[in-house]
Structure 1
Amino acid sequence: MVTSAMNTPFDQLIDALEREGARYRVLEHPEEGRCDLVAALRGTEPGQGAKAMLCKSKDADGQMILAILPGDRKLDFKKVAKAAGIRKATLATPEEAQRETGCVIGAIPPFSFSPAVKLIVDPELIERFDEIAFNAGRLDRSMLLASDDYLRIARPLVSPLCA
């Protein structure tokens, strides 16, 4: 994914949310990518944070999967593989994450703007909270977004992913 200065992942998010009439707000804060620390900066619960982890298939096709889970939970790679319909999943490298999402690790939002990246969200995130929080393509900007608007706009596959 190549982004120009005028079409950053942050800009793509704002455009999509505005176009779809989403209920959201943007928070500015010091740069932070760790779920627990950024939750404190946002004033949100750690589990309310949508942790985005780019995974890839170990199969020959190299399918990319953006796994979204509550910030206070751990990812189960077997559940990622099952949900994605692949044999085995692993974490993508920081370089692959930057290339596929246009974001550094810790700044990846819970949206896929690439047809090559399958988006899967753990149901616990959207069932526990009416509003999710996430870094919005930048380490110094977060968004709080109504959970039902997230589902409506992102259209992720909903499947258990947590260990």
Structure 2
Amino acid sequence: MTRHGNSTGGTPATRVLASAGVPFTERPYEHDPAAPSFGLEAAEALGVEPARVFKTLLVDAGAGLGVGIVPVDSTLDLKRMAAALGTKRVRMADVKDAERVTGYVAGGISPLGQRRALPTVLDAGALAHATILVSGGRRGFDVELAPGDLVTLTGASVATIAAD
């Protein structure tokens, strides 16, 4: 279902998309809590190549948290992420910190509609696709949108941050 315009329901992510008037498609799927990878589960359940499904990962840069968005079939390169954020090093953020700061539950953290705007970096590979999927704000729910719209709405920079 493609939506845009004003929306009072949904998740914080879909409300951000709707209030910005950005076209997006809600992509719910049956979530299995036992799935070893929520992102790969989403790609398979939705019949989408994993290179188009992106996961939202939080890093601790020492002075605060940052957001890295990479394909579900890859890992975040911490050195590249640190460089993209302009810092010497980052480590993966504590799950409880990530949940508290974003307002989302791990496995359902969306880059959109977080409680506080955080420095965000989208892997450059996203730009090779007309649309990508990211978490819509809960497990078992993705949203599909143009990568340029995601960059605009999150204020993200674009860099190669996925590991080779």
Partner SS for 2:57: strand
- Pair 1:99-2:103 in alignment: no
- Quote the Cα distance in structure 1 between the aligned partners of 2:113 and 2:157: 12
Residue of 55, 68, 90 corresponding to 2:59: 55
1:104 Cα deviation from its structure 2 partner:
2.0
Describe how 1:1-163 pairs up with structure 2 within 5 A. 11-32=11-32, 34-57=38-61, 59=62, 61=63, 63-111=64-112, 113-115=114-116, 117-125=118-126, 127-163=127-163
CA contact (8 A) 1:50 1:110 kept: no
Structure 1 alignment gaps of length 5 or more:
1-6
Partner SS for 1:111: coil
- Quote the Cα distance in structure 1 between the aligned partners of 2:92 and 2:117: 16
The 10-residue stretch of structure 1 (82-91 or 30-39) with the greater mean CA deviation from structure 2: 30-39
Partner SS for 2:148: helix
Question: Relative CO higher for 1 or 2, CA cutoff 8 Å, sep ≥ 6?
Answer: 1
Structure 1 residues 81 and 112, CA gap change in structure 2 (3 angstroms)? farther
The size of the alignment, in residue pairs, is 152
